[in-house]
Structure 1
Amino acid sequence: MPDAILRLALPSPLRRLFDYRAPPGIPAAALQPGMRLRVPFGRRELVGILVEVVDHSEVPADKLKPALELLDRVSPLPAALFRLCLWTAQYYQHSLGDTLSWALPVLLRQGEPAEARQERFWQACEGARAEDPRLARAPRQRQALSTLAQHPHGVPHHLLTHLEINRDSLNLLLEKGLVRMEVRRHAPAERHAGWLAQAELPLNPEQRAACDAVQSSFGGFNAFLLAGVTGSGKTEVYLQLIHRTLEAGKQALVLIPEINLGPQTLERFARRFNARIALLHSAVNDRDRLDAWLAARDGEADIIIGTRSALFTPLKNPGLIIVDEEHDASYKQQEGLRYHARDLALVRARQENVPILLGSATPSLESLHNAHNGRYALLRLTQRAGGAQQPRFLRLDVKSRPLDSGLSMPLQQAIAQTLEAGQQVLVFLNRRGFAPTLLCHDCGWIGQCNSCDARMTLHQRSGELRCHHCGHAERRPSHCPSCGRLDLRPVGAGTERAEERLALLFPQVPVLRIDRDTTARKDAMSALFATIQRGEPCILVGTQMLAKGHHFPRVTLVAILDADGGLFSADFRASERMAQLIVQVAGRAGRAEEPGKVIIQTHLADHPLLVQLTEQGYFAFAEQALSERRAAGLPPFSHLALLRAEAHKPGQAEGFLDEACGEAERLMGEAELGGIELLGPVPAPMERRAGRYRAQLLLQGNARAPLHRLLALWLPVLEQMPGGRAVRWSLDVDPIDLF
């Protein structure tokens, strides 16, 4: 019988499998797809994933190396997740080894055992009482025993300090036989009797209809789009559907767009459910992430909450997938494996045969198009929960008006009135830093990044000029580098400047800035939100971090300082993103008893898009935008792929793309592939970034199948092109960012 040949996927950009002999002493019958093996690869050792076992190889037998070590007794990847990875690699035209590496937690990629931590748990012994005479003179031991008695499932060792249990007291109780310690597998949380820890809220007829529609498809695949206005109670629909999922003995996977939404989502779910909840995102340390991943795989986590990468979490008993804020661009991975978590969640739901619910107040045009075509069932929530009213929009024309750090006088007066009424104000400006430009008033010098075609942003607090594209930072100059004069002026306003000015205008209330700079420290976001939730008058200043899913019941005025940026852009999606952002930010206003007002500062108060959005609502805008996309043949009525290239020298990237374009035209002719248009190559809108010159070639197809057929033929050719060695290139299937 010929020796078994192992075909492995290695964490490499190469779109191929690698052949090895089985490790000595390991029979072929013991091997199954998804197992990890440590193998030699050049001078390194890599952890590869077994894809298949075959009996022949194109590599000569004497050149085949044996794998060094089998790392798993059983595959850590369930068959369903393995199939999802195969589909993902094929659809996004990506290396299978790299795709499987994305799907595994970091520690498993490094070869660590696929085993959860063992943790010590302390429990009161049966019959042990705090009134035991042996504890008459030991108040700390009595208190420790009383606390343990309140936790019949035991207390993990790492929570002893949190519960104010003295470890010396525990050791003495252990000697007296009043407590016991056992080592158990670490799990996210213990489940108690009954699923609900907090009463469910009553549903209005629209919410109840949505819940019933989704529940009716339990046990089979169906896709639902929950389009609810901001504050309409979408989260309550999620919670009640999850309750029904848990009662059916199944697990729920909930995807959220931002890390910053994780703690508040976890807290809300933990208050509602007596369930084991796992949280997975990039800020969770590697050990905790692996434990949560394994708990979900083995059915020991009931609810899994996470950002886009949590999509690859294995589930033993999948029952429901929820994608919150489905329109959000954060679901698209922009480097490496450029997958879209929302789209892959739909594929996974179909493969796992479970329903999926996509929720948003501002659904993407792609999702609305799918709902119109019957691919998704559309569920509408048109009323705010609790009888709250929709906010009132006011377009404030600031043409010819003086602006004080971006703030007009009518806006300042509206802020003052809101604060005097004891309410809160949210000021939105999607530009962090103090000012986007530093200008010499004498000679016109502007602070440019040396590595990018971009101006550097002034950060006043740190005294730095920073490039928000490549991360370069330098000290703010004391005089003009060009003419030597001292009159350097900040031009424009960012969140830091708005915060500073508002603090001077309204010294009697706290001004809280919420952007990437102020929330970088651990727990900073939680501390800011704790201040907001106290309900006292304050001003929130922030970027789009404030627009996503937050509930601020005391905010009654939302001010959007600059709404004009998305009206003039080369990106055809800019107006959609601007509309979504305005509606999402506006949705923070008037979510409780007090009515809300939204003031939009603009130099184009009569622009048709702004008029339609503020007077007729998002769905009227979306219908108009879809008709324009249909007429122009743009997604979702066509399909895109973007080949990007970058190089150290000007012209190299375009030269590579010129050659690639020629090869694509040749392949289209040979394979008789029609309905595909090649646009470019052209320099990227920001041609130079981080010291590299960038260019791109856009492929647009009327139908998805011919486009993907071309990509499959084209990529092996690109990998062999001589010009590809001097450039760094990547392919983005279904790109959402053309820059």
Structure 2
Amino acid sequence: MNLKIAKISLFSGMDKELSYLVPKELEPKISKGSMVRVPLRSSTATGVVMEICDNPPQREEKFSLKRIYALVQPEPVLTQDLIKLSLWMREYYGCGLQAIFESLIPSIVRTGKGALELKEVSVVKLPGADELEKLSRRAPQQAKICSFLKNYKEPILKSALIKMTGVGAQAIDALSKKGVIKQQAREVVRSAFDDDLSSAELVSPVPHILNGEQQKALDDINLDIESGEFKTRLLYGVTGSGKTEVYMRAMKSVLENGGSCVFLVPEIALTPQTVGRLRSRLGDCGLVVWHSNLTDGQRLDAWRALARGEARVVVGARSCVFAPVKNLRLIIVDEEHDTAYKQDKNPRYNGRDIAVLRAKLCGCACVLGSATPALETLYNAKNGKYLLSEIRNRIDGRKLPSVFIADMKREKPGTVLSRILCEKIAQRLDNMEQTILFLNRRGYSKIFECPDCGNVEECPHCSISLTWHRREDIVKCHLCGYTAKAPSRCRKCGSEKARWRGHGTQKVEDIVAQMFPSARVGRMDRDAMNRRDNYRRVLGDFRAGKLDILIGTQMIAKGLDFPRVTLVGIIDADISLHMPDFRAAEKTYQLIVQVAGRAGRGDGNGEVVIQTLKPESAPIQYAKRDDMNSFLEEELRNRTEFSYPPAMRLIRQIFRSRSEQKLAFYTEQFARAAEKELEGICQIRGPSPAPLEKSEDFYRWHIWYFCPSVKPVVAAILGLKKKFPMDEDIDDVLDVDPMSLM
């Protein structure tokens, strides 16, 4: 008997494929991408079928191959394009398939959990009156069940039968063995579409009339889709230009022609608004939601609906790009510049870049949308690698907001809200209009500093200062989560002169409440959004006009549309300029433009107040003038001069150890070995301590590799790691195309 051979990659961490025989009875059910259970030594393991061969490889003919035990999920857990994608990610990001599978396949699916099943009881043949009387003497509980079931012609849940009769499960099982009744499991069909966003904000199903720029962009995207070929298009559109309307029409066209769509957004906070809009416009397309706040049950339902082809649109954050969509014809990445698309643990992928690659593997269209495109994306568009469509005007002829710069050096020391910002907030309250105040810093105050000894209260586990959360009167590390009671004096010298400096969103909230006591104020940051539905509730209240002022961090800067907002205040606009990061200017520019874009999206004109200590800095001046091209040209010149991306590719290798001395020594030795091993294929800078020198009790050093091509360098680094005698107390990770250099 000539059995087929399956090459299986296991979830157990063994980073090589093993061969198993496919039993004849499983051959029709098993294909590439199937999840199976197999014997492994004296135990069992689960894995994915990566390949099926008719004949075993020569080197394995002398071995007796074991057989696959069982198929775990009825649907393949990986589509054909996702199998290719996982193999590409292994080479490009330099990590094992196990870590990749953890991103591609939800944990609830990997555990083998199937559909929810309930046991039902139905009558086969009930005993007559005489038999029932005898049964009542012999087995009164069984007789009680029979008497009860006389009135039930339809199946009844076993749990309900036990509850209503008070009998035990053993009596039901005994009757089942006698053939009086039968028990069978029924799959519970839960709707994958009844998620917690099913009642999200809806918009009119009647589409707006597109302006000329929108129509041109839509025509371009539709041509990409109709070509049936891989194409990536950057859709650059100023804030409030109606990019979402273009997305929805392109998706509708795909659905009408039998295709499916993936729609990525950077933040969970954007999901309710996006889902509401799409469900209103796209109708009964089977839209499912995909993000980290889903319950296991919701995630399983969504995954099964996509794997079976019942759902044809999936909306969600970064991991949504791996959804098992059938007949994928369009991928949209909204706010493509956003750093939230980059994962900070293995595999350290960028959802935007993976979207482009998946579109290539599927031969479909990919649209990258933004009002502030990443420099790398714009570089690809200018060089012809990506296509480009532009929408330079807001819809309905609405004007971009007027921008005012408040130089905080001219305000009193310690001022949080400038005079001009306070005046404009008061005007909005008088006019019953809304205000957004943005500060990208959580907590109440950032630094507890002693003037006598100069000590700053730091986390004992990380090299950053502790933040004061006044309501709980605790200090918290926003890296590792360490908390302690807030100090009242310097812990080092005991001085009572130590004071808190700086301000976060909690302090701004208190100041606003004191200055404008009649205002209804909401706050949106990670601390306030600690429950699953909090972000949806706060956004819903703000949209409904139940709040006058919304204070928040980065999550309010992206893509949200509030027609009543006519004022945006950006507090400490230059925070990100101080970061030791070659992207600092770009991130500052993007953040200012994105936050400013929340103003004036309705009928009223918008205004923006930018508070800064560096009003002359390039990103702030270019953002004020809305001159993206000049800013990006200057930024590209600066990057090219120092070989930073996009001029070159960057790989960052981060080393960690609890021993500072060992870390410094071994990282230096590895860098010397790398200079010899990688000579001619990259430039090496470092090693040096990372800007965030200590995190969660681990000291951190890093090496930077600048190269024209990633894969050869990653392969060389992995090869060097195998033969380098690294101390067991030191671990390292590769971060390809890093978005943070901390």
Structure 1 length normalisation: TM-score? 0.84
Q: Which has the larger radius of gyration?
A: 2
Given that 1:642 and 1:699 are in contact with CA atoms closer than 8 Å, whether structure 2 keeps it comes out as: yes
Given that 1:12 and 1:98 are in contact with CA atoms closer than 8 Å, whether structure 2 keeps it comes out as: no
- Counterpart position of 1:266: 275
- Counterpart position of 1:137: none
- Counterpart position of 2:492: 482
Given that 1:678 and 1:698 are in contact with CA atoms closer than 8 Å, whether structure 2 keeps it comes out as: yes
Given that 2:521 and 2:547 are in contact with CA atoms closer than 8 Å, whether structure 1 keeps it comes out as: no
Q: Which amino acid aligns with 1:697?
A: I
Given that 1:333 and 1:339 are in contact with CA atoms closer than 8 Å, whether structure 2 keeps it comes out as: yes
Q: Aligned partners of 1:390, 1:345: CA distance in 2, in Å?
A: 31
Q: Which amino acid aligns with 1:226?
A: L
Q: Is 1:36 aligned to residue 40 of structure 2? A: no
Q: Which amino acid aligns with 1:88?
A: M
User: Against the structure 1 CA distance between its residues 389 and 111, is the aligned structure 2 distance closer, same or farther, given a 3 Å change threshold?
Assistant: same
Deviation at 1:43, TM superposition (A): 8.2
Q: Cα RMSD (Å) of the superposition?
A: 2.8
Percentage of pairs with the same residue = 35
Instruction: Give runs of aligned pairs for residues 316-355 of structure 1, distance below 5 A.
Output: 316-355=326-365
Given that 2:580 and 2:741 are in contact with CA atoms closer than 8 Å, whether structure 1 keeps it comes out as: no
Deviation at 1:187, TM superposition (A): 4.0
- Counterpart position of 1:55: 56
Instruction: Give runs of aligned pairs for residues 439-478 of structure 1, distance below 5 A.
Output: 439-440=449-450, 443-478=453-488
Q: Which amino acid aligns with 1:339?
A: Y
Q: Aligned partners of 1:437, 1:446: CA distance in 2, in Å?
A: 7
Q: 2:222 aligns with which of 190, 215, 219?
A: 215
- Counterpart position of 2:688: 682
Deviation at 1:41, TM superposition (A): 5.7
Q: Which amino acid aligns with 2:82?
A: L
Q: Give the unaligned 5+ runs of structure 1.
A: 121-156, 158-181, 191-195
- Counterpart position of 1:500: 510
SS for the counterpart of 1:216 is helix
Q: Aligned partners of 1:686, 1:245: CA distance in 2, in Å?
A: 46
Q: Is 1:532 aligned to residue 542 of structure 2? A: yes
Q: Is 1:10 aligned to residue 10 of structure 2? A: yes
Given that 2:442 and 2:553 are in contact with CA atoms closer than 8 Å, whether structure 1 keeps it comes out as: yes
Q: Aligned partners of 1:386, 1:23: CA distance in 2, in Å?
A: 62
Q: Aligned partners of 2:572, 2:681: CA distance in 1, in Å?
A: 40
Which deviations, in whole Å up to 9, do the C-alpha atoms of 1:462-496 show, x marking residues without a partner? 11100111111111124432344444422011000
- Counterpart position of 1:188: 192
Q: Which amino acid aligns with 2:113?
A: E
Instruction: Give runs of aligned pairs for residues 660-675 of structure 1, distance below 5 A.
Output: 660-668=670-678, 674-675=680-681
Q: Is 1:312 aligned to residue 315 of structure 2? A: no
User: Against the structure 1 CA distance between its residues 650 and 65, is the aligned structure 2 distance closer, same or farther, given a 3 Å change threshold?
Assistant: farther
- Counterpart position of 1:124: none
Q: Aligned partners of 1:563, 1:17: CA distance in 2, in Å?
A: 49
Instruction: Give runs of aligned pairs for residues 224-263 of structure 1, distance below 5 A.
Output: 224-263=233-272
Given that 2:262 and 2:332 are in contact with CA atoms closer than 8 Å, whether structure 1 keeps it comes out as: yes
Q: Aligned partners of 1:332, 1:635: CA distance in 2, in Å?
A: 16
Deviation at 1:677, TM superposition (A): 0.5
Q: Aligned partners of 1:527, 1:677: CA distance in 2, in Å?
A: 50
- Counterpart position of 2:312: 302
- Counterpart position of 2:555: 545
Deviation at 1:530, TM superposition (A): 2.2
Deviation at 1:598, TM superposition (A): 1.0
Q: 1:691 aligns with which of 697, 705, 719?
A: 697
SS for the counterpart of 1:198 is coil
Given that 2:650 and 2:706 are in contact with CA atoms closer than 8 Å, whether structure 1 keeps it comes out as: yes
Instruction: Give runs of aligned pairs for residues 66-77 of structure 1, distance below 5 A.
Output: 68-72=69-73, 75-77=76-78
Given that 1:12 and 1:97 are in contact with CA atoms closer than 8 Å, whether structure 2 keeps it comes out as: yes
- Counterpart position of 1:205: 212
- Counterpart position of 1:102: 103
SS for the counterpart of 2:329 is strand
Q: Aligned partners of 2:528, 2:547: CA distance in 1, in Å?
A: 20
Q: Aligned partners of 1:596, 1:42: CA distance in 2, in Å?
A: 68
Q: Aligned partners of 2:615, 2:3: CA distance in 1, in Å?
A: 75
Q: Which amino acid aligns with 1:270?
A: R
Q: Aligned partners of 1:364, 1:612: CA distance in 2, in Å?
A: 16
Q: Is 1:719 aligned to residue 725 of structure 2? A: no
Q: Aligned partners of 1:241, 1:72: CA distance in 2, in Å?
A: 33
Q: Aligned partners of 1:413, 1:535: CA distance in 2, in Å?
A: 21
Given that 1:23 and 1:66 are in contact with CA atoms closer than 8 Å, whether structure 2 keeps it comes out as: yes
User: Against the structure 1 CA distance between its residues 243 and 2, is the aligned structure 2 distance closer, same or farther, given a 3 Å change threshold?
Assistant: closer
Q: Which amino acid aligns with 2:737?
A: D
Q: Is 1:639 aligned to residue 649 of structure 2? A: yes
Which deviations, in whole Å up to 9, do the C-alpha atoms of 1:551-603 show, x marking residues without a partner? 12111111111122233432101110110000000001111121111111112
Instruction: Give runs of aligned pairs for residues 415-434 of structure 1, distance below 5 A.
Output: 415-434=425-444
SS for the counterpart of 1:723 is coil
Given that 2:462 and 2:697 are in contact with CA atoms closer than 8 Å, whether structure 1 keeps it comes out as: yes
SS for the counterpart of 2:224 is coil
SS for the counterpart of 1:433 is coil
Q: Aligned partners of 1:438, 1:59: CA distance in 2, in Å?
A: 66
Q: Aligned partners of 2:116, 2:632: CA distance in 1, in Å?
A: 47
Q: Aligned partners of 1:85, 1:654: CA distance in 2, in Å?
A: 34
Q: Is 1:597 aligned to residue 603 of structure 2? A: no
User: Against the structure 1 CA distance between its residues 18 and 606, is the aligned structure 2 distance closer, same or farther, given a 3 Å change threshold?
Assistant: closer
Given that 2:279 and 2:287 are in contact with CA atoms closer than 8 Å, whether structure 1 keeps it comes out as: yes
User: Against the structure 1 CA distance between its residues 441 and 198, is the aligned structure 2 distance closer, same or farther, given a 3 Å change threshold?
Assistant: same
Q: Which amino acid aligns with 1:106?
A: S
Given that 1:39 and 1:68 are in contact with CA atoms closer than 8 Å, whether structure 2 keeps it comes out as: yes
Q: 1:356 aligns with which of 340, 344, 366?
A: 366
Deviation at 1:209, TM superposition (A): 0.7
Q: Aligned partners of 2:265, 2:681: CA distance in 1, in Å?
A: 36
Q: Aligned partners of 2:71, 2:312: CA distance in 1, in Å?
A: 31
Deviation at 1:302, TM superposition (A): 2.3
Which deviations, in whole Å up to 9, do the C-alpha atoms of 1:517-552 show, x marking residues without a partner? 111112211221222113367121111111011112
Deviation at 1:368, TM superposition (A): 0.5
SS for the counterpart of 1:498 is helix
Q: Aligned partners of 1:57, 1:474: CA distance in 2, in Å?
A: 63
Given that 1:10 and 1:98 are in contact with CA atoms closer than 8 Å, whether structure 2 keeps it comes out as: no
Q: Is 1:608 aligned to residue 618 of structure 2? A: yes
Which deviations, in whole Å up to 9, do the C-alpha atoms of 1:173-197 show, x marking residues without a partner? xxxxxxxxx977444349xxxxx98
Q: Is 1:380 aligned to residue 390 of structure 2? A: yes
User: Against the structure 1 CA distance between its residues 118 and 549, is the aligned structure 2 distance closer, same or farther, given a 3 Å change threshold?
Assistant: farther
- Counterpart position of 1:90: 91
Given that 2:5 and 2:19 are in contact with CA atoms closer than 8 Å, whether structure 1 keeps it comes out as: yes
User: Against the structure 1 CA distance between its residues 661 and 404, is the aligned structure 2 distance closer, same or farther, given a 3 Å change threshold?
Assistant: closer
Deviation at 1:118, TM superposition (A): 8.8
Q: 1:392 aligns with which of 385, 389, 402?
A: 402
Deviation at 1:50, TM superposition (A): 2.4
SS for the counterpart of 1:447 is coil
Q: Aligned partners of 1:514, 1:405: CA distance in 2, in Å?
A: 22
User: Against the structure 1 CA distance between its residues 665 and 64, is the aligned structure 2 distance closer, same or farther, given a 3 Å change threshold?
Assistant: farther
Deviation at 1:260, TM superposition (A): 1.6
- Counterpart position of 2:200: none
Q: Aligned partners of 2:28, 2:675: CA distance in 1, in Å?
A: 47
Instruction: Give runs of aligned pairs for residues 88-167 of structure 1, distance below 5 A.
Output: 88-113=89-114
Q: 2:585 aligns with which of 572, 575, 580?
A: 575
**Paired positions, count:** 665
Deviation at 1:5, TM superposition (A): 6.1
User: Against the structure 1 CA distance between its residues 117 and 189, is the aligned structure 2 distance closer, same or farther, given a 3 Å change threshold?
Assistant: farther
User: Against the structure 1 CA distance between its residues 37 and 625, is the aligned structure 2 distance closer, same or farther, given a 3 Å change threshold?
Assistant: same
